[in-house]
Structure 1
Amino acid sequence: MYERKELYDFFMERTSELTEDWYNKMDHNHLHGVYASNDKEVIGRLKQQNYQFHLLFCRLFLEKDEDFGALFENWLEELASDIEHLLTPIYEIIEQFFRVEDQYLELIEKFYAENVAGAGSEEVNYWSREITKRLGEIVIRFVRENALQTELKLNANRETILKLSCPVIPLMKHSALLPVIGDIDETRTKVILEHSLDECAKKKIDHLFIDLSGVATVDKIAVEELEKLIDALKLVGVVCTLSGVRPKVARAIMEYGFELEIIQVESVLSTAIEAKFAAI
């Protein structure tokens, strides 16, 4: 087997060239996301990411560690969490990995043709298999990391949407309205609890009207979380008034052990608000 260090040096001398060649031959007009961008900053970052890949991948010719893909852990995390790549179809990103693979396979053949007299196909085949194998490992790691980052982003967006769906709307005299619309499940009630506590503290609310007229059904977990919300608000000095409780929801609340006697209840929101401000 030819000296690994000379093979390593051969590739390292061409890292910048590999990046420029890769970018310049890219079919930007038929690609999307990061590959179609005209933003100089985005393009510069894309090239730098590709260049950093080569610096790591060239170590293939030196490293004998079986877990070669672990070298790319930080690089993959950065690439997968990059907003421009998150907005790029994953199949296009994988396609670019394969283009890079082709670059390495071509250079392996060039190296042995120009530098090793009488070299047979055995050496070329060995390194071709290594390149294909190691790059395959990296692609799998990227897909896994990309899925993780996408899920994190979706969860963050989902939580934002949930918060927007349960706004704490200031009224007057340190009072506010929390209109709850749609089905209430465990995830949503937890977001409502955290969001309501934060908003009441931030806006110095001491009386919160929780209107459930937009809620058609609740389950046991939702009732338990609603009870936790009211108890938590009491602990920070916020009085709660429930309004708009539908008969079906009321039966479920009673069935699951929530005692309506411990909280102010009004049939409709307007009545609750009028009663509050009439007493001021």
Structure 2
Amino acid sequence: MLKNQGLYHYLTERTWELTEKWYEGLDKNKGGVYSSTDPEKIETLKHQNHEFHVRFCAMFEKDKEEFFAGFQDWIETIAKDEDHLSTPVVSVLGEFFRTQEQYLEMIGSYAKENEDTVSIEQLNEWNLAVVNSISSVILEFTSQNTKAAQDRLHAQQQMIVEMSAPVILLTKHSGFLPLIGEITTHRAQIVFEKTLRQSAKHNIEKLFIDLSGVPIIDTMVAQQVFQLINGLKIIGVKTALSGLSPVIAQTAVHLGIKFVDIEVYNTLAQALKENGISLIDG
């Protein structure tokens, strides 16, 4: 029988001892959260570890379903914790296995102190339960941590994409949109939406779009760029294109795109000069 009040109380009375011994034996060169020298972060790490023990010891008091249900919030918190997300997963998993060894050792000590009442079969059952429970926690943590890491990466990519399409005010009613790097279909859609919003917000009457930093563009993205130009036209914004590479120009021709009502210049400097805009004071 897995439930055992004696073992449960034996372990719960030593949860802080488990935490302190765990931290004492921690390899501080692992990187991430485990290498922090910030007293506040160290204290947080210890409390997180202690909360694990409080929940884990409950396996010897609660039913299996209730035990794992009580673990979900801890797993989710650690999996989404920024410091743990910045720590190599292999290092985190290594600490789970080190904790497993702590429990096997402590349960062994309890069995030795109570050898008259604890059989070998009972000890083996407890040890197997510890190993299986740690494995289940690891699987759930890995799943949630992977999802949290993917969500964070997506959010970072989204932020980078949005920051890479700024509409810069040149004068009271003119703006500049520099497009740099590879333009994917996803990025083109964000540029489209953000540029329309910013142009309307700043009452821009003319927008200079520079493509000199774009090495190559596919047909789908080219269509979105020219849809942007049409969208700007609808809200009353004139456009001027500069920096079109031969590849981009050829793509536009293949698409049958005509540069009607669109000013096209070789360089941004030429476009600004032709429109009487100077960025140099004095």
TM-score range, shorter chain: 0.7 to 0.9
SS in 1 for 2:177: strand
Partner of 2:85: 86
User: Could you state the TM-score of these two structures normalised by the residue count of structure 2?
Assistant: 0.85
- Contact 2:33 2:87 (C-alpha < 8 Å) held by counterparts: yes
- Contact 2:168 2:175 (C-alpha < 8 Å) held by counterparts: yes
Which amino acid is 1:17 matched to? Answer: E
Partner of 1:132: 131
Q: CA deviation at 1:88?
A: 1.9
Partner of 1:12: 12
208-217 or 234-243, larger mean C-alpha shift: 234-243
Q: CA deviation at 1:95?
A: 1.3
Which amino acid is 2:18 matched to? Answer: L
Cα pair distance change 1:219/1:23, threshold 3 Å: same
The percent of aligned pairs where both chains have the same amino acid is 37
- Contact 2:3 2:60 (C-alpha < 8 Å) held by counterparts: no
Question: Over aligned residues, Cα RMSD in angstroms?
Answer: 2.6
Q: CA deviation at 1:2?
A: 6.7
SS in 1 for 2:275: helix
Q: CA deviation at 1:67?
A: 8.6
Q: Distance in 2 between matches of 1:142 and 1:134?
A: 12
- Contact 2:2 2:60 (C-alpha < 8 Å) held by counterparts: no
Cα pair distance change 1:74/1:207, threshold 3 Å: farther
Q: Distance in 2 between matches of 1:144 and 1:158?
A: 21
Q: Distance in 2 between matches of 1:2 and 1:245?
A: 73
Q: Distance in 1 between matches of 2:181 and 2:69?
A: 45
Superposition pairs for residues 72-83 of structure 1, below 5 Å?
Answer: 72-83=71-82
Q: 1:98-119 deviations in whole A, cap 9, x for unaligned? A: 1111111112222222246242
Q: 1:45-67 deviations in whole A, cap 9, x for unaligned? A: 10111111112212222333359
Which amino acid is 1:62 matched to? Answer: E
Q: CA deviation at 1:135?
A: 0.5
Q: CA deviation at 1:257?
A: 4.5
Specify which structure has the higher proportion of helix: 1
Q: Distance in 1 between matches of 2:133 and 2:206?
A: 62
Q: CA deviation at 1:206?
A: 3.0
Q: CA deviation at 1:138?
A: 1.2
- Which runs of structure 1 show a deviation greater than 4 angstroms over 4 or more consecutive aligned residues? 66-70, 201-204
Which amino acid is 2:129 matched to? Answer: E
Q: Structure 1: any 5+ residue segments left out of the alignment?
A: none
Partner of 2:118: 119
User: Could you state the TM-score of these two structures normalised by the residue count of structure 1?
Assistant: 0.86
Partner of 1:210: 209
SS in 1 for 2:111: helix
SS in 2 for 1:31: coil
Q: Distance in 1 between matches of 2:230 and 2:266?
A: 21
- Contact 1:68 1:134 (C-alpha < 8 Å) held by counterparts: no
Cα pair distance change 1:236/1:78, threshold 3 Å: farther
